[in-house]
Structure 1
Amino acid sequence: MSCNRLLHILLLISAGAHSGICCRNSKRIGQCDDEEIIFNSSAFKWDLENKLHGQHLVVPTVYKAVTDHVSNPNPSKPLVLSFHGWTGGGKSFVSRMIANNLFKKGEHSPYFHQFNPNIHFRHKDKTGVYKDQLHSWIYHNVSNCARSVFIFDEMDHIPEGIMDVLAPFLGHSVHVDRVDFRKTIFIFLRNLIDHFVPFLPLERSHVRNCIIDEMKRRNLNEGENFIQEVLKELLWFPEVEQLYSTSGCKKIAHKLALAKDEL
C-alpha cells in the first residue's frame, strides 16, 4: 500500500473517531469525566520524592508547577513544561508520573496523549498532513476534556514546522475556536518554554536506588552482591572515574533479569 493511500485511510479513520466522540459525548465542551480526574498533591509529591532518584532540581519545580496549575480552576494559560537531560534520567518517567497522579486510568486515560516522531511523524515529506492531523487531534481532544495532557517525545527528531500548529493553543487566549485550552498540560521532552527543567546524569548511588526499586517490584530478596553485579553490567562515564551512568535507570530491568538468570 502506498504512503499516500495509507495516510488517506488514517485521516478517514481519525475523522470518524472524532465524529464518534462528538456524537457519543453529551457533556459540555471541555468538560471531563469527574471520576477520571483524581489529582492528589500529597501523593504526587511522595512519588516525586521517593521514586525519582538523583533529580533534586526536578522535584520542587515540577511539583509546584503541576500542583498550582491543576488546583487552579481558572488558570491564565496552559501549563507548558520542558524536560531536558540524559537518556534514562527520568524525563519520560516523570511525564508518566504526572498522568498516573492526575488520571484514574493513568497512562491509559483517554485524556493522556503521547507523540513520538518515529511513530507519528516518520515521513518528512508529509509535514503538511501531519500538521493538519495534529491540529485536529489536539483541538478535538481538548474540546472533549480541557484537562488533557499531551507529551511530545524526542523533540529534536520531529520534522521542522510540525510544532508550529501548537502556537495558538499555548498562549493566554480564553478560547481558540470556542475551545478553552488553559487547563491543558503540554510537556516537551528536549525543547523549552514555561519551565526549564534540567535532568542531571545519574550517579552510582542513584542507579543503585533504581535497582532496589526494581527488585522490590519483582519481590526479589537478593543482597548487596547481586546489586553490585547489576551495576557492573551498566556503562559509566567518564571512562576512568566512572561517575555517571550512560543510560541512567533505563536499562535496569533488563540488566537485573540477566543477572538473575546467571545466579
Structure 2
Amino acid sequence: MEAMEPIPEAPASQHKLSLVSPLRAAIRLRRKIRTLKTSRLQLDLSGRRTLDNSKSCLLRRQLSTDKSFFSSTSFESPKYFNFDTPTLERVNFSTLKRKKKRRKSRPVLYPGNGKKYLPIEHKSKAKRCLILFIGIVCFQILNAIENLDDNVLKYELDGLEKTMQREVFGQKIAIDKIMDLLKDYLATHCHNKPLVISLNGPSGVGKSHMGRILAKHFRSVMDNDFVLQYYVMHNCPKDSNITTCKKELADMISDMVTRAEIEEKIPVFIYDEIELMPLPLLDTLRGYFQLKQSNEYLNAIHLLISNVGGNEVTKFILQNASSDVLNVPQELHNIVQSSLRQHHNIWDVAEIVPFTLLEKSHIANCFLDELLREGFYPDNSNIENLAGQLKYYTIEDKQYSITGCKQVVNKVNLLHPYT
C-alpha cells in the first residue's frame, strides 16, 4: 500500500482571500443597507413609500447568499446593524396619529327617552316694580288727556263751530283753520306765547261777523269781563290823543289778563278795523305779542280784523277762478302775508286766515238769513230778485259779489212798510 502523499497545504494568500472576501461583502452590504435606510428615512418624512419592490428583492437575495456571514458570532451584536425605526420616525408617526385623531368629529349624542324638565324660572321683584311703574305712567298719561278734553269742553268749541258754519257763508277753509287754532291753544291753560289770529280779506265777506260770533260765544261760556271788543273808530277816533289811546288800551289789557290769571281763564281780545289804527298804537299792541313777558300776558287770544290784503285776495280769486288752485290755499296765504308785512310788523307773529270772495249763491243765503231774522216769509223768487240787485264780478260761469253781504241789511230794511 502506497504511502499516502501528504496533502499540500494551501498557501497563505488563499487563506487571506477566504477571510477578506466575506469581509468585503459585509462592508459592501453594510454600505448598501445604510444608503437604503437613509433613502427610506427621507421617504418616510415626506410621506411616500419606504422601499421599492425591486430594492427589497435585491436586499433579500444578498442576505440569502451571505448566510454564513450572518451566522458568525462576530456580527450578532446589534451594535453593527440596527434595523429599528429611528426615534425621529417614531415621533413623526405619533404626531400623524394624533392629528388624525383630532380631525375625527365628535359623535352626535341624541337625547334619550327619559323625561326632560325645563329650568326653573326665578321670579324677580324688579319685574313687578317695572310693571307697577308702567301702570302709573299710563294712568298719568290718560289723566292728562282727560284733563285736556275737560279744558276744551269748558269752552264748548263744538257749539262754536256749528254756529260759524250756520251763520258764516262761503268761508269753510277759514272756519276750519280758526277752529284748529282755538282747539290747540285752549287745550291747556299755560302757554309760552299768546295766540294771535289775523282775519284778512275784502269788505263784506264775513270778517266782522266772525268777530261778533266769537265775542258772543266766549261771553256766554265765560264772564263778560274776559272778552274785549275794541273798535278803532269808536275807541280811538282820528281827532283823539294817541297817548291817551295807548294808556287806555294798556290799562284794559293789563286789568283783564290779571283777573283772568286769577280765575285760570284765557281772555279774548278782538280788534276790528286794524287798518285804521295809528302806527304808535300798533307798536303798543305789538309789545303784548312778545314772548318775554309775564305769564298772564302769554295766556291770551288776540283777534285782528282788517281789510289789509283784500285787494290781493280779490285779484288772486279772479285770476284763478277757473282753476283748482283754491283747493291749495297756501299760495293765497303767502300773498296776503307778504302784503301785511309791508304794512306793519305786527303780523309777523300772527296766524293769517284769508277770507275769499263770496259767490252769488252765498249772497242768496245771506238774504235768506236776514229775512228770517226780520220775520219775512222766505220767498225764493224774492230772494233771487234781491240778490240780482247787487253787483258781481263775472268770470266765465261764476259770479263773485263786489260788496259781499255788506248791502244785504239795507236791502231787507227797505222791505219794511214804514221805511
Normalising to structure 2: TM-score of the pair? Answer: 0.48
1:129-184 C-alpha deviation (Å, 9 max, x unpaired): 22222112211121122422212222121111112122332133451xxx612221
Task: Specify whether residues 261 and 87 from structure 1 end up closer, same or farther in structure 2 by C-alpha distance, changes over 3 A only.
Answer: farther
1:87 aligns with: 203
Q: Report the number of matched residues.
A: 222
1:148 aligns with: 267
| Alpha-carbon distance in 2 for matches of 1:219, 1:117 | 33
> Which residues in structure 2 correspond to 1:138-177 (within 5 Å)?
138-146=253-261, 147-173=266-292, 175=294
| Alpha-carbon distance in 1 for matches of 2:215, 2:278 | 26
Larger mean CA deviation between 90-99 and 198-207 belongs to 90-99
Contact 2:359 2:401 in 1 (8 A): yes
| Alpha-carbon distance in 2 for matches of 1:123, 1:219 | 38
Contact 1:154 1:189 in 2 (8 A): yes
Q: Which runs of 5+ in 2 are unaligned?
A: 1-152, 307-339, 341-346
1:17 aligns with: none
- Which structure features the higher share of helix residues? 2
How far the C-alpha of 1:261 sits from its partner, in A, is 4.2
2:127 aligns with: none
Q: Matched residue of 1:89: which SS?
A: coil
Matched, 1:51 2:207: no
How far the C-alpha of 1:123 sits from its partner, in A, is 3.5
> Which residues in structure 2 correspond to 1:84-163 (within 5 Å)?
84-104=200-220, 109-123=224-238, 126-146=241-261, 147-163=266-282
1:252 aligns with: 408
Contact 1:38 1:103 in 2 (8 A): no
Q: Matched residue of 2:198: which SS?
A: strand
Q: Matched residue of 1:103: which SS?
A: helix
Contact 1:229 1:259 in 2 (8 A): no
| Alpha-carbon distance in 1 for matches of 2:159, 2:400 | 29
Task: Specify whether residues 99 and 115 from structure 1 end up closer, same or farther in structure 2 by C-alpha distance, changes over 3 A only.
Answer: closer
How far the C-alpha of 1:246 sits from its partner, in A, is 2.4
| Alpha-carbon distance in 2 for matches of 1:104, 1:187 | 18
1:8 aligns with: none
Contact 2:215 2:270 in 1 (8 A): no
Contact 1:88 1:249 in 2 (8 A): yes
Contact 2:268 2:300 in 1 (8 A): yes
> Which residues in structure 2 correspond to 1:188-207 (within 5 Å)?
188-190=304-306, 192=347, 193-207=349-363
Task: Specify whether residues 222 and 125 from structure 1 end up closer, same or farther in structure 2 by C-alpha distance, changes over 3 A only.
Answer: closer
How far the C-alpha of 1:117 sits from its partner, in A, is 2.3
| Alpha-carbon distance in 1 for matches of 2:268, 2:188 | 16
1:85-139 C-alpha deviation (Å, 9 max, x unpaired): 1111111111122222222178x92222122222222246722222222112211
How far the C-alpha of 1:239 sits from its partner, in A, is 10
Matched, 1:230 2:368: no
1:44-73 C-alpha deviation (Å, 9 max, x unpaired): 121222221111220111011112222322
> Which residues in structure 2 correspond to 1:67-78 (within 5 Å)?
67-78=183-194
Q: Matched residue of 2:199: which SS?
A: strand
Larger mean CA deviation between 147-156 and 237-246 belongs to 237-246
| Alpha-carbon distance in 1 for matches of 2:187, 2:217 | 13
| Alpha-carbon distance in 1 for matches of 2:221, 2:158 | 18
Q: Which runs of 5+ in 1 are unaligned?
A: 1-36
> Which residues in structure 2 correspond to 1:34-45 (within 5 Å)?
39-45=155-161
Normalising to structure 1: TM-score of the pair? Answer: 0.74
The one-letter amino acid paired with 1:95 is G
1:32 aligns with: none
| Alpha-carbon distance in 2 for matches of 1:199, 1:230 | 24
Task: Specify whether residues 242 and 236 from structure 1 end up closer, same or farther in structure 2 by C-alpha distance, changes over 3 A only.
Answer: farther
Contact 1:236 1:242 in 2 (8 A): no
Task: Specify whether residues 196 and 173 from structure 1 end up closer, same or farther in structure 2 by C-alpha distance, changes over 3 A only.
Answer: same
The one-letter amino acid paired with 1:228 is E
